[in-house]
Chains A and B, each alone.
Chain A
Amino acid sequence: MAKLLICDDHPPIRTAVTYVAREINRDIKIIEAGDASEALAMMEQNQDVDLILLDLYMPGMSGLDLLSDLKQKFPATPVVVLSSDETRAAVVDALQRGATGYICKSSSTDLLAKFLEHALNGRVALPTAVVYGPGAESPGDAYSPTGARGSSPDIGLTPRQIDVLGCLLRGMSTKQICRELGLSEGTVKSHTVAIFRALNVTSRAQVVIEASRRGVTIGGRQI
């Protein structure tokens, strides 16, 4: 059974998101946190959380710092940012720190539902403007990948490299990937270099953006 942690200091947002999540999956288990320390405590108690939805502005700790903290302590759990900051810089910053996706709060219900569905299915979800640059509609618009649902398009990676990519998309560090996949650090680095080259990117944030563009799923644990 899927389990979702919503971290936002505004109860109305948590309520609204809860409704939308139940629209997608009637049986989804939802837990809520109103600030950073609550979020960390919730994660301690519920190691089986499948997805964290994280607001970037919460009392107690900057959302970005909390994001780094969560990635450090719970590397395998994907974090999707839920924010009203729609600037490209904010999105790239969050991705660089290990977010797997980014949802704008100003999205319409349909859009939010689509985003959340993508995220729960392990697909990277980002605002169109970030994926395609300006010229795309507005940052609130969803990206709907053309690839077949649930399967990653072939980008010429070995199965092991796809595993590493999944870890990268979940924001895991090299050391965390070594532990997760039982590989040596050198091997993980080589795979990472191969992935960057295959996607033709030079940074972690770009890996996520490219993955979103190509409809790559993060694989690993099935949600």
Chain B
Amino acid sequence: MSEVTSSAAALVGLPSQRETRSRIHRLHFVIQQASRNVLGVVVAVAFVGPVVVPMAGWLRFSAWAGLTLGGLGLRAILLRPVTKIEVLEKDADRWARLFFGSTLVCGLIGASGPLLFFPSLSAVEQMFLTMIFCCWVTAFMTSAGVYTRFYTGYVFIFIVQLILAWLTTDNPHVVAITVMLAIYGAIISRFSLSFAKQVVAGVEIRFQNEELIHELDAARRTAEAANHAKSRLLAVASHDLRQPLHALTILSGLLRRYATSEKVGEVAQQIVRSVDSLERLFSSLLDLSRLDVGAMQPELRPVSLRAIVDQLSVEFRPRAGAKGLRFEASGCEAMIVTDPMLLERILRNLIDNAIKYTERGRVELACEQRSDALVVRVADTGPGIRPEDREAIFKEFYQASGGKHRETGLGLGLAIVKRLTGLLEYTIETESEVGVGTAFRLVIPRRFISAGASESGTEPREGTGVALEGFCIVYVDDDVQVHAAMSLLFREWGCEAVIASTLAQAQTQLRERGIRPEAVLSDYSLTGNATGFAVIEALRQEYGALPAAIITGETGPRAREKLQGSEYPVLLKPVQPDELRRLLEVFRSVG
């Protein structure tokens, strides 16, 4: 039977890995299909029943039908494990033998029907039965037809038994019927050959496609990895590449200083300029590759957009003026959360380009408010960008004017702009008319606009976020009324606070809770003539050099005199939360 399994495989040459896989898939398909075909057999049996039962009796029909369907049922049970293709893969030949063998046995039983019933039937009923069995064997092609030789054997079993059945009758047309049955058998066997070829080819194509997709995927991944590796190499290498360049910058600067003649000075100046453009080129390339490998992470903080616009106009107005261009700038009073270095880089590149390409007229830097965004517009009265170039200008090394400005850049500016806008999650819109000018709009989505548009223009101080979580503070004050408020404040900041009215209470609490204080805050005058100084001294004795502060509500001359030379900061009641927080932040970083 294994010969039968390999016969289909033999249709497409030597077995390869794909060949094996496709063979297994075919076998799986056939077995599944065959189990579905059992329903067809049930229908056939149901048709045979009414015809033969009245003539041949229940007993004979039941025996035949029972054996036929029982056999198929047994086959189904035996082949159940292979509904999972993995099982089939393990031992395909064994399952193939089991399937082919059991199917042939079932066929043999089923096809015995005519021989069994013909003697009791009339000629018309015999014809009817013949037709049913022909249908049966033909329908089986849809499952087993793939295996031509096996299927031919199956057809042979049916046709031979039908012929034998006819031969037992005394029908005058028996010779003709025999011949016709033989021809029919030959035709469907032959037909199954082309059917098998079609199916095999179909499965093959499917596998080839799968393989191609696989290869394509692998190739794509290789290409991506190579690109990534290139960028990483560039990023790593350019650090080392830039070092001699830095040295060259410094040395050529020295050379210009040392120049004894005007000519040497001129040449030195040229070298400085060349090195400078080389340096700029390198940093652009480096930036590009760092952006490509995702090595550049924005450092977001709130900044004033107005300050950035003002700065850029200070920087670019002289350059525009030198070229005879007007430079107009108007900023918005808005605080945005951004990486100022990267935002400035974007705008600088855009303005730089505008000045570079504009021969007369003006360059404009302005803000526009939209309902859902803030827009920074960089517009010029330059030559404009043709519609077909609008996408391409954002590609690296692309220059719309065909290299006329090559000395001043490599065409990396807008490529960097594009990547940076993506990194900051902004979008960029291009509007341009040839001969009229160009406007780039940098669209900053609303979510980056800082709600606290306070302190217009001033920078919020950097690092106002020393975390106070878990910072352990002792607060001693005999005014119990402030305890609750202080406790609330400390809890809000995430501090671990020990709040007490006296030193002894604080010490007991610390011991009970088993914690070490990290800072001390004490009221100046406590009950029983104790002072804040004594509290601080005592806790320092016990827990080491803690940062400490005195809090007092007394502003009288005596208290002031006492506190004048204090080495500890003195906070006046009522304590301002901001002031206190800042002090605790200092305490925490001083440690």
Chain A contacts to B: CB under 8 angstroms: 8, 10, 12-13, 15-17, 19-20, 23, 57, 84, 87-89, 92, 105-106, 108-110, 112, 129, 133-137, 139, 174, 184-194, 196-197, 200-206, 209
Contacts and interface: CB of A to CB of B under 8 A. Distances in A.
A87 B246 contact: no
A136 B343 CA distance: 14
A10 B247 contact: yes
* B interface: dominant SS: helix
Interface stretch (B92-100, B154-162, B581-589): B581-589
A109 B246 CA distance: 10
B254 A190 contact: no
Contact of B590 (A57, A92, A105, A192): A192
B450 to A, nearest CB: 14
17 contacts: A8-B243, A13-B243, A13-B246, A13-B247, A15-B247, A16-B254, A19-B254, A87-B299, A87-B341, A105-B242, A109-B257, A133-B340, A136-B311, A184-B545, A186-B540, A193-B583, A205-B463
Contact of A194 (B239, B344, B569, B582): B569
A213 B242 CA distance: 30
Nearest to B568: A190
B250 A112 contact: yes
Interface in B283-338: 283, 299, 303, 307-308, 310-311, 315
B248 interface: yes
B552 interface: no
Interface string B229-260: 00000000001101110111111111011000
B311 A106 contact: no
A106 B242 CA distance: 9
Given A13-B246, A88-B299, A200-B461, 6 more contacts: A13-B243, A105-B246, A112-B250, A135-B311, A189-B546, A189-B591
A201 B582 CA distance: 8
Contacts of B461: 200, 206
Interface string B530-560: 0000000000100011111100000000000
Which of the listed residues A57, A187, A190, A206 has the most CB atoms from chain B within 10 Å of its own CB?
A190
Contacts of B243: 8, 10, 12-13, 84, 105
Contact of B583 (A20, A105, A174, A197): A197
B582 A202 contact: yes
B423 to A, nearest CB: 14
Contact of B462 (A13, A57, A84, A206): A206
Given A106-B279, A133-B459, A12 B303 contact: no
B388 interface: no
Contact of B308 (A15, A16, A108, A134): A134
A111 to B, nearest CB: 9
A20 to B, nearest CB: 6
Contact of A204 (B252, B341, B549, B589): B589
B464 interface: yes
Contact of A190 (B251, B544, B547): B547
A129 B341 contact: yes
Contacts of B249: 106, 108-109
Nearest to B549: A193
A134 B590 contact: no
Which of the listed residues B254, B303, B307 has the most CB atoms from chain A within 10 Å of its own CB?
B254
Contacts of A200: 461
A112 to B, nearest CB: 6
A167 to B, nearest CB: 13
Nearest to B296: A87
Contacts of A204: 589
A10 B240 contact: yes
B530 to A, nearest CB: 19
Contact of A197 (B246, B545, B569): B569
A16 B247 contact: yes
A23 B244 contact: no
Given A87-B341, A108-B249, A133-B303, A193 B462 contact: no
B120 to A, nearest CB: 99
B567 interface: yes
A108 B249 CA distance: 7
A191 B548 CA distance: 11
A10 B244 contact: yes
A112 B310 CA distance: 27
Which of the listed residues B242, B249, B250, B253 has the most CB atoms from chain A within 10 Å of its own CB?
B250
A19 to B, nearest CB: 5
Interface in B330-388: 340-341, 343-344
A10 B246 CA distance: 10
Nearest to B309: A135
A136 B569 CA distance: 34
B567 A187 contact: yes
B307 A134 contact: yes
Given A186-B540, A206-B462, A17 B250 contact: yes
A23 B308 CA distance: 36
Contacts of A92: 462-463
A189 B547 contact: yes
Given A20-B254, A186-B545, A202-B466, A106 B246 contact: yes
B569 A193 contact: yes
A19 B307 CA distance: 38
Given A16-B250, A133-B303, A193 B586 contact: yes
A19 B303 CA distance: 40
